[in-house]
Amino acid sequence: MASAFDERVRRRDAEAKTTGGATYGADLAVAGMLHAKVLRSPHPHAAIVSIDTAAAAAVPGVRAVLTAADLPSGITPYYGYIIKDQPIVAIDTVRFAGDVVAAVAADSEAAAAEALERIHVVYRVLPAVTTIDAALADGAPELFPEAPPGAVPRYGAGARGALRPRSNVSYEFAYQTGDPAAFDRCDHVFEDEFRFSRMQHFHLEPYVGIASATRKQIEVWTSTQNPFPLRRELARMFRLPENRVRVNVPLVGGSFGAKSNCKTEPVAIVLSQMTGRPVRWCMTFEESFFTNSQHAALLRLRTGVMRDGRLVARQSEIFLDAGAYSGASPLVAEKCGYRIPGPYRYDFIDTRCSCVMTNTTPAGAFRGFGGAQATWASESQIDMIARRLGITPYAMRALNLLHFGDPFVPGETAIDSDLHVGLDLVIDELGAIERTPNRGVGFAIGLKDGGGINKAAQARVKITTGGEVTIDCATVEAGQGARSSLCQIAAEVLSTPVDRVIISPIDTDQSPYDHGTNASSATVVMGRAVLAAAERVRDEVLRFTATALSCDPSELRLENWHAVRGEESHSIAELVLREFGNIGFQFAADGFQKAPLDERAPLDSPCVFWEIGWAAVAVAVDPGTGKVTIEKLVVSGDAGKAINPLVCRGQDEGAAMMGVAQALFEQMVFDDGILMNGDPLVYRVPLAEDVPVSFVSILQEQGRGPGPFGAKGFAEGGLLPIAAAVANAVDDAVGVRITELPISPQRVHRALFLQKSPTVGVTA
């Protein structure tokens, strides 16, 4: 029988999605449901003096109007990951332009929208801090004069966290290892500053959820990546046992990290409790811009080297723009600060990463999860140092790259890919570029720890009398193809065609537990749980069959729901019916996977695997306009073992194009706290014409992953190195170094002008 990993195996959701038959959260409806709309603040920072909702409540079809005064007593109306600071609706103060002030439930969206126009709010505008620099300035107004409740996660060797270490900083992560005196023996110490822009997730399906709730029971149908953590957070907020909260998750129409923790659910729940009817809140596409974003960042690196290019010490100070509420920012700070050394050896590492509160859209998890910010600064500076020392960027990297089997830092998991092989692959594929004026090449390596911190996953595999296989697990299908890969893993273990395997819908009352679909963890962490469950149920079937055939299980193997013994083949279905009668039977087994706790690991649990992206680019720069054109892009990642090669390529290429957008043009633009391009027709995302004419992706299968059959996670690495590779290529082409994203024509042109007229006060 053909392998379940054959390249011709099609995604399980392919037909439904390409024919329009797939059901997403936006497609769901519940009998009798109402529709919600919310009123948002026009001000970045203001006190709410009064709200008059009488006219709104009088609109025909309106069933409830929610403000802070209407929140039920006895609940905890704030949410967040480790800092609980975001209210269901604004309580006394709005903290960004777009903050939810009031909500309406009505028979139709039109009636709800009309009611919003009749809500009268009186604000007292407060001073706002809308950038990292403004928020950190002496005497800056505070977003939270009183500390919201929060907790510091447990860390291992060398790492620590702190709540509110200074004004407008909600959280700080720090890590140190090695001897600080390492800087004293360096031949050179270089200090550079980098700025990273903010992107929007731009998932095509909006945030959407339906709630049917009373004060004693809650059920939601929602577009989320994290059904079980969401269940726990809702139970905490509404003070219910977890088994009184039920979360159902259909297909998710894109996320890139955005659809985690609470989004639509708390507002819909309260409105449902107020009306006694189910309530659906489907945001508009524009509202996504007011809900979540990537972190802008300021990164300062101090790196000590020897004259031959050997890296010795790196000290970093990183500031993430968390926006108005903490959300996932402390977790992103951990990752950004932890990943700032990049894939290199150092004798000393000292890093601090702070979450800075500003009166802008809250920032949260975004593809790469802090790794994109870290890689932008780290890989840019590696090139800059090489050029200052007069050695090639390739030689600089070759000298310092970690080797396969080296620990990333003391106490951490060893690197599980050959970094040199990947670098040589993309450079060789880039090939010889004609060295004409204004053309250059650059490359970079991005690295992130994958699989999640201390992430647990459970799975159940069931086989019917006829050999049909069902997987119960809570991995969310958000377009990445994870559930197809899990079906392939089970099919391979059970030696059955993939089309005989399905995955049950996600329902927290029925599905086994999963910590969440994030950190590129599905194929490895959930994959190992599915693998274990499939192996156990296979062994159970073989034991049953061996008893029926009066032989030892070791004499048998499964093949297409037959027990094969030498040249004999026995139908398992017939054996089951003979034993259990016409009703038949179902075999079932569970699997579990979790990385162990280890206090030697800085993040308290060793990294499951390393996700690595290699990129090489050739660019042409127009000195008259500053426009950068990518003439060739080569990207590569190591899947370990590609469970579904086509899906892996799609992930790498899609991630790379997000990196191209970040590098050249995509960003959220604020003017004094007001988002200027929060509209899908104005916000610039990659178009077909932005795909480089020559775009090559190389799928590596180095075979050293910890997942099933040697697999590794493969969804984010392709994004990480792109921006730095482009900046390095621009420097190679025209000799100017851009240290702020995006690398726009204006920035390049100004840098070229300054290069020609160094006495003029213009900066890049």
Domain that holds residue 506: 455-594
Same domain, 584 and 628: no
Same domain, 432 and 573: no
Same domain, 436 and 496: no
Same domain, 464 and 529: yes
DSSP 8-state symbol, 524 = I
- For 533-537, what is the mean pLDDT? 98
CATH number, domain with residue 607:
3.30.365.10
Same domain, 354 and 412: yes
Across the chain, mean pLDDT equals 95
Same domain, 665 and 569: no
Q: Which of 266, 288, 310 is where one domain is finished?
A: 288
Q: Which of 229, 222, 225 is nearest to 264 (CA)?
A: 222
Contact 200, 683 (CB under 8 A): yes
Q: Which of 654, 665, 666, 667 is nearest to 613 (CA)?
A: 654
Establish if 726 belongs to a structural domain.
Answer: yes
Same domain, 642 and 674: yes
Cis peptide bond N-terminal to 742, omega within 30: yes
Q: Which of 575, 594, 613 is where one domain is finished?
A: 594
Same domain, 644 and 733: yes
Amino acid (one-letter) located at 472: D
Contacts by 417-423, CB closer than 8 A, 24 or more apart: 417/610, 417/612, 417/638, 417/700, 417/702, 417/704, 417/712, 418/702, 419/343, 419/445, 419/612, 421/700, 421/702, 422/612, 422/614, 422/636, 422/637, 422/638, 422/700, 423/394, 423/397, 423/398, 423/614
What's the first-to-final CA gap in the chain, in angstroms? 60
Residue 380 has pLDDT above 50, yes or no: yes
pLDDT (tens digit per residue) in 600-650: 999 999 999 999 999 999 999 999 999 999 999 999 999 999 999 999 999
CATH number, domain with residue 99:
3.90.1170.50
Residue 405 has pLDDT above 90, yes or no: yes
Same domain, 481 and 522: yes
Establish if 132 belongs to a structural domain.
Answer: no
Count CB-CB contacts under 10 A for residue 569. Answer: 11
Max intra-chain CA distance, the chain:
92
For residue 7, what pLDDT band results from cuts at 50, 70 and 90? low
Same domain, 720 and 608: yes
Q: What is the pLDDT of residue 760?
A: 46
Residue 6 has pLDDT above 90, yes or no: no
pLDDT (tens digit per residue) in 625-637: 999 999 999 999 9
Q: What is the pLDDT of residue 246?
A: 98
Q: What is the pLDDT of residue 761?
A: 45
Establish if 171 belongs to a structural domain.
Answer: no
pLDDT (tens digit per residue) in 208-238: 999 999 999 999 999 999 999 999 999 999 9
Total domains in the chain come to 3
Q: What is the pLDDT of residue 8?
A: 65
Task: Give pTM, 2 decimals.
Answer: 0.95
For residue 454, what pLDDT band results from cuts at 50, 70 and 90? confident
- For 519-541, what is the mean pLDDT? 96
